[in-house]
Structure 1
């Protein structure tokens, strides 16, 4: 019995470290390496954490088989998600082999990196996500550890920029490597939603006040100085959605609603009051917000969307290509995962993907409404989905696929 208990303890800890690594170690090690002067995506730290994640995913698959997690939690929705992503890998591989015919110039190394990301960095970890369901895993402690890891990472980001808290940035925040203004903004948004969960579930008042206060401050500040509009908008949407469908904020719900109405009145009467305040810290973001209101400017996304939609319409059944094939943005992704799914997979692949998204959203609603120790994974899915609606690509959106996999492992009747 003692041996069985010890083995279960080892399994839980492997699951804990694996999931913590998936959700936060990439950013943490990137910031540590940048702080130490090792810049670029392919430095020793980045490659090491990728190998570490792959190794843990391999162990995770073995544990899942031995613990019969697939038998218990492999729902038909999760099974079809696996099949869909395998089909996605197959389509992208064919597209890469025909890249010259598509008129896109791409180095061999970049082609290899795309397949490496899809197979080893996304699909293989997806196979191990059922470790989230392993018996005895403390999901609240896991969420708390991810929150603290992200908090430390973003503080290191400020140090890398040599920017003291409260300092001004005259242009969009930028860090070498995978991090850029958009990524930094969305990491800030991810920290924000985790703080929302933490403040409703943490019972230690001192930790709740200290960690959540610092987390909210860093999250808002990072989103502000990143110069990106999406993270701020989507964070507010998720916040009010979370607040209204759970009972966690019932004591302050009226106050927060009044604040929202007050902000909306300001925006209607004279939105420049808010943009002037934002401009104190990031003039670039102020200009972008004003242009969004006055000129409906969306950073050229409309042109990307138009090209992507036309590409889909050229081959609506089977899909055309996974990258844009024409225009100034040839070789880029369309910055919208729904359009990307249509133009890459066609209706054959996009319709199943949309159905799985709908099923995920249904589960997310009840997870957040219930607000137990699983609700944070629903919040991460939401911010990952919204990120995919304005930036990044579909095939490499790790947190989207991972969170979808975990959420779809829950049967709908169990969540309700």
Structure 2
């Protein structure tokens, strides 16, 4: 209890950001509550209010003038304006046409303000070990409970899950657990018992398979090599490549077996060997056509039925044009300038973990959802940007200190 009392507000905020929705989204289904917003809305409101408080508490004009902060502010203001113009001038079908306000709420309450607040945190004062362990143990507990619930409450051929979220997001919970477990195994093996890490990996992989989505598997293919290359463990890299090849071969033969039914295998087989991208191609072409008609500032923000391109770059170009894409990408300049802190374990290995989780959700944004509906990507983006900004400030102060021993800086 004493440790809990001593945790600073910013650590609680980060814990809420990375673990909160996993917990709140698991409350409705077990109690047969159809409207899951009873739990999700209060959670989002709490995060929003805490975000406003943290911005007010940590705001300085120096931070406010930073290019990453300005990029976040100007992009979401631009996107909000484009949404207003699109909803006012373009035709949209119902029920999307009746829910414009929901889009504005998601933009400001879920996307914009929390992302901005994460940039104002002083990450030098954050105990990343507490945040990472909190995320690990939350996922282990919640996904274990989920498995038990699924076994006790079967739903036909598939296991029912307790989370009130899309099956793709559910699958990415498994990916997160695999990546966090592997991170601790490679870089912090003494902090969590090895049997728990092995259990975490097995539980995460099981979750990915049960969810049936393809992007969690693709995220594994992208993020795991990043961890192994940084660790420079070529034996593990070889083992990973071998396991990946065996998995693909297994998917090939099982996918061709008409007597075998598993959604993950069927969907992944169609994706890998038959080029099935779940009808994404027409969405991609439509987005490109809209962009070509308005290349500078983009055109409508959604398709007529409220759908979107399912690709972050195509959506940026479609909705905000070249200007919006440039503004959006400007926020990553500090990360590019300070990539060394995410590529060397001797600096702070937890930086590697958060960049890995960012990579995972970056992959998700390539294949699903819209700009404002993947808060995990937005939040982990802001975390690694905030870490980079703190590192820049620390280096500047250090250099200035050496030039000005009098301390007048």
Pairwise TM-score range, normalised by the shorter structure:
0.7 to 0.9
Q: Say whether 1:383 aligns with 2:360.
A: yes
- 2:229 & 2:7 partners in 1: Cα distance? 34
- 1:159 & 1:40 partners in 2: Cα distance? 23
Query: Structure 2 stretches of 5 or more lacking a match?
Result: 396-409
- 2:216 & 2:265 partners in 1: Cα distance? 15
- 2:273 & 2:121 partners in 1: Cα distance? 46
> What secondary structure is seen at the aligned counterpart in 2 of 1:373?
helix
Counterparts in 2 of 1:201 and 1:31: CA distance versus 1, 3 Å: same
Aligned to 2:62: 71
Identify which of 21, 24, 36 aligns with 1:26.
Answer: 21
Q: Give me the CA root mean square deviation.
A: 3.3
Q: TM-score, normalised by structure 1?
A: 0.81
Matches within 5 A, 1:4-403: 13-43=8-38, 45-65=39-59, 68=60, 71=62, 75-98=66-89, 101-106=90-95, 110-130=99-119, 132-162=121-151, 170=157, 178-202=164-188, 204=190, 207-247=192-232, 250=233, 253-261=234-242, 263-264=244-245, 267=248, 272-273=252-253, 283-325=262-304, 330-357=305-332, 360=335, 363=338, 366-370=341-345, 372-403=349-380
The number of equivalent residue pairs is 388
Aligned to 2:402: none
> What secondary structure is seen at the aligned counterpart in 2 of 1:369?
coil
Structure 1 position 189, deviation (Å): 1.3
Contact 1:188 1:223 in 2 (8 A): yes
- 1:168 & 1:224 partners in 2: Cα distance? 16
Structure 1 position 384, deviation (Å): 1.3
Contact 1:364 1:378 in 2 (8 A): no
- 2:313 & 2:150 partners in 1: Cα distance? 34
- 1:202 & 1:14 partners in 2: Cα distance? 25
> What secondary structure is seen at the aligned counterpart in 1 of 2:8?
helix
Counterparts in 2 of 1:111 and 1:175: CA distance versus 1, 3 Å: farther
Contact 1:126 1:402 in 2 (8 A): yes
Contact 1:194 1:376 in 2 (8 A): yes
Structure 1 position 168, deviation (Å): 10
What does the per-residue CA deviation read over 1:45-97, in whole Å, with 9 as the maximum and x for residues that have no partner? 222212221222122123213xx5x6369632232222212222222233223
